[in-house]
Structure formats: C-alpha cells, structure tokens
Amino acid sequence: MKKYFQFEELGTNYRTEIIAGITTFLSMAYILFVNPFTLSLGAVKDFPNELRIDQGAVFVATALAAAYGCILMGILARYPIALAPGMGLNAFFAFTVVLHMHIPWQTALAGVFVSGVIFTILSLTGIREKIIDAIPVELKYAVGSGIGLFITFIGLQNAKIIVDNPATLVGLSDLKDGNTLLAIFGLFVTIILMVRKVNGSVFYGMVITAIVGMIFGLIKVPDKIVGAVPDISPTFGVALQHLPDIFSLKMLGVVLTFFIVDFFDATGTLLAVANQAGLLKDNKLPRAGKALLVDATAVMVGAVLGTSTTTSYVESSAGVAAGGRSGFSAVVTGILFLLSLFFSPLLSVVTAPVTAPALIIVGVLMVSSIGEIDWKKLEVAIPAFFTLITMPLSYSIATGIAVGFIFYPITMILRGRGKEVHPILYVLFVIFILYFLFLRE
Ligand SMILES: Nc1nc2[nH]cnc2c(=O)[nH]1
C-alpha cells in the first residue's frame, strides 16, 4: 500500500497522511449540513414546502457523493484532494435555478447530471486541454473570485446582516434580531479560529454557534446526536427520471453554466492545491486526465444520489498544509464522510445563523485569487472586474461569466491584442451574446 501511494518518493507516512485526511475532513464537514439547508432553500421562509428538496436525502447524497469523490481521487488519481458538493454551484442551483427561474429541483438535478456527462466526455478527449489553454488566466481567477463574493453575499443575506432597502436596493439591517446577532457572534468565533490557524475552524465555528444558539433558546436542542441513516429515496435516481425535462432553452443555459463553472473550478482548484503540495511537474499537473475524470464522474454520481455539483475542494489545502501529499489522505477524508452518515440528527440545529458564518468565510477563501489578476493591464482587468462584480449584483454566476467573456475580446481588440485571443473565445463571445438575447431568465 505504501508503495502504491508512493509514500517514500513523496516523503510521507501513514501518520501524516491520516492527520492530513482528518484535517481536510474537519475543514469541509460543514457542507454535510450547509448543503441540505441551501438546496432546500432553508433560509427562504415563504417558499412552498412541497417544492423543497428533502433535507435528509440531500444529507445522505452529500456524504456519499463526497465519499465517492474523495476515495476515487485518492486511489485513482492519487492526489491529496478531497471532493464534495460545492458551495458555488449549490447556491446557483438553489437561488438562481429553483428560486428565481422557477425550475423544479428534479429538473435541475437532471441538468447537473447532464453537465457531468459533458464534463466526463471532455475529460476523456483532448478538447479538455484545448479549452483550458484557451481561457485567459484572468478570467479563470475572476470566476473563482466572483463566486466567492456571491457566496458571501448569500451568507450576509441569510444572516439578515444585509437586507433589502427600497432606496438603495440593499443595506445594513438594524442588527437587532437575535438570530442576526448569533450569526455575527459565529462569524467572530470563526474568524478568531481561522486567523489563529486552528484546523477545522469553520466546522468548530458552527459547533460553537449552534451551542450558544441552544443556550439562548434560538435553536432547539436535538434529542440525540447519533441516529439512523436518513432515507435517500426522495432524491435517489430522480435526476435520471427527469432527463426528458431538460430540453428547453432555459435549461440549456443552466446546464452550460453548471458545466463551465465546474470545469473552471475543478481545473483551478486541482492546479492550486497540487502546486501547494509541490506535485506539479513543469507547471503541469501529472495525471490531470484522471483527476478531472474523477471530478466529472463525481458530478454524475452526486446528481443521481441527489445533490448539486460535486467538485474538488479548496479546503483540501488545509490537509496539504498539515503534510498530506499522497492519495491516502483523500481516502481517509472519504471514509470519514461515510462515518458521518450516522450524524443526521444534528441537521436540525444547523439553522441560518449557524451556516451564515461558513458561507461568508468560504467567500474569503475563494476570493483570494483576485491578487493574481494584473490590474494594471486594463484590457484584462476590465473583463475580470465585470465578471466578479456582476456575480453578486446580478445574483447569477452564469451572468458574471457571460459578461466577462463578452468584454474580454472587445477590450483585447481595442488594445491591439486581438490576435492573442484564442478562436474558441470568439465562439464563446457569440454564444454568450446569444445567452443574453435568448437564454437568460
Ligand atoms: N473549489 C471549491 N471549493 C469549495 N469549497 C466550498 N465550496 C467550494 C466550491 O464551490 N469550489
């Protein structure tokens, strides 16, 4: 086993890899509770209950999809990179697709499945590299950062820190509500733990916030912590049954967004985490095809189980920081996701003020790539900036991407650098213009 995972070449051992796997798990365990809450639109009180996805089933789907992704990434691609349903696309799934576009969650899951099929086909062919090379790094970074701003905005709204305002659209609330104060407390706790570099700071932040919420009577005390695994049948296989529903112009835009966002997210995250672990060779990712294939199949598996897009997690960097170098640490993380299936009773304590600090802080992690953009070159800075500011303001990751891809060729041509723009980007330019004309809801 040590040989298979190349412990010697990588200068690692079982102890380090197990600690790294646990560290990554603790850094991302929040998703077990945040994902069911977000996908079922838990923070939107006036949404009809019969249109909500079942929280227990999503909890099981989240744990199983993450376990599948982590274990396969560890064994097949042998990277210390963990996967789980991403916060960027679960927000897009819930708030843009289900809430704003009025698409049923069943159809949206079918869309996630198809985006996984497209990603899998691309991962198996050479088109993958062509697209990766064609997209300018500034736009890749801008998409990641824009999603970060979007997630933070959702967190601030869920906590009712930022509320609607008839004069200015949005504004700061009076901060008097008990739940809002609890979320602010949770944010401070999480920030303290994070800045002090405590492993699993987001998770522990949620635990402390929930306990304080129970003490102050804002959250109901659960009758037990360990319980039977919830029933997954409300979501299992629904994506496949609803495949015929996705043939509409509206869904075309949604599927393309699921695909493009995950494609960017996965390639960016794999490169960043592998680089941090010193695993890149000549600035390239060895076994990139296998790693992307794992990510792509995890999207399909997750959709069939009942969750929005499963993706490689930036939080894997916590495990790498703890010394994780081999795929063994990802396997450890995956096994812990399997064990967590028995902790579903804790779902009831994870309310909006408990999840909001996690959303707000994950935004900080995702926005960090903003520094990689060359702000002095306006021909790249302008499209990058429009992408990242449009995501939270239009409440849509898709619109942010579209705006960036429309402005990029224009500013590059104006600067006399039109020849450097890859032909694929001119094709995307036309596609995104069509998106604004016909596909956008
Ligand atoms: N890369 C990545 N990491 C995450 N961590 C939490 N959510 C996400 C996501 O959507 N993408």
For 317-371, the three-class secondary structure string (H helix, E strand, C coil) is HHHHHCCCCCHHHHHHHHHHHHHHHHHHHHHHHCCHHHHHHHHHHHHHHHHHHHH
Structure tokens at 301: 């598996």
Q: Residue 312 Cα, ligand 1 centroid: separation in angstroms? A: 7
pLDDT of amino acid 165: 93
Q: Residue 406 Cα, ligand 1 centroid: separation in angstroms? A: 25
Q: Residue 147 Cα, ligand 1 centroid: separation in angstroms? A: 9
From 34, 35, 87, 149, the mutation candidate for ligand 1 (largest count of ligand atoms within 8 A of CB) is 87
Q: Whose CA is nearest to atom 9 of ligand 1?
A: 86
3-state secondary structure of 216: coil
Contacts of 326 (CB under 8 A, 6+ apart): 5, 6, 7, 10, 12, 17, 74, 78, 80
Q: Residue 133 Cα, ligand 1 centroid: separation in angstroms? A: 22
Q: Residue 197 Cα, ligand 1 centroid: separation in angstroms? A: 19
Q: Which residue has the tokens 């396997």?
A: 331
Q: Which residues of the chain have pLDDT under 50?
A: none
From 95, 310, 313, the mutation candidate for ligand 1 (largest count of ligand atoms within 8 A of CB) is 313
Q: Do 65 and 307 form a contact (C-beta atoms < 8 A)? A: yes
From 271, 362, 368, 397, the mutation candidate for ligand 1 (largest count of ligand atoms within 8 A of CB) is 362
Q: Which of 77, 87, 75, 148 is nearest to 311 (CA)?
A: 87
Residues with CB under 6 A from ligand 1: 86-88, 265, 269, 311-315, 362
Return the C-alpha torsion angle 318, 324, 325, 329, nearest 10.
-110
Q: Residue 94 Cα, ligand 1 centroid: separation in angstroms? A: 16
pLDDT of amino acid 307: 98
3-state secondary structure of 169: strand
- What atom in ligand 1 is closest to the CA of residue 309? 10
User: Which DSSP letter does residue 249 get?
Assistant: H
H/E element holding 359? helix 352-367
The answer to whether the complex's ipTM is over 0.90 is yes
Q: Residue 419 Cα, ligand 1 centroid: separation in angstroms? A: 34
Q: Do 295 and 330 form a contact (C-beta atoms < 8 A)? A: no
**CA 13 distance to own-chain centroid:** 30
Q: Whose CA is nearest to atom 11 of ligand 1?
A: 86
Q: Which of 197, 178, 187 is nearest to 152 (CA)?
A: 187
From 62, 70, 315, 361, the mutation candidate for ligand 1 (largest count of ligand atoms within 8 A of CB) is 315
Q: Which residue has the tokens 């990510």?
A: 295
- What atom in ligand 1 is closest to the CA of residue 268? 1
pLDDT of amino acid 151: 83
In whole angstroms, give the CA distance from residue 403 to residue 390.
Answer: 8
Q: Whose CA is nearest to atom 2 of ligand 1?
A: 313
- What atom in ligand 1 is closest to the CA of residue 147? 10
From 89, 202, 314, 317, the mutation candidate for ligand 1 (largest count of ligand atoms within 8 A of CB) is 314
- What atom in ligand 1 is closest to the CA of residue 313? 3
Q: Residue 314 Cα, ligand 1 centroid: separation in angstroms? A: 6
Q: Whose CA is nearest to atom 8 of ligand 1?
A: 86
Q: Which of 97, 116, 115, 110 is nearest to 39 (CA)?
A: 97
From 79, 257, 269, the mutation candidate for ligand 1 (largest count of ligand atoms within 8 A of CB) is 269
Q: Whose CA is nearest to atom 5 of ligand 1?
A: 313
- What atom in ligand 1 is closest to the CA of residue 315? 5
In whole angstroms, give the CA distance from residue 84 to residue 347.
Answer: 17
pLDDT of amino acid 32: 95
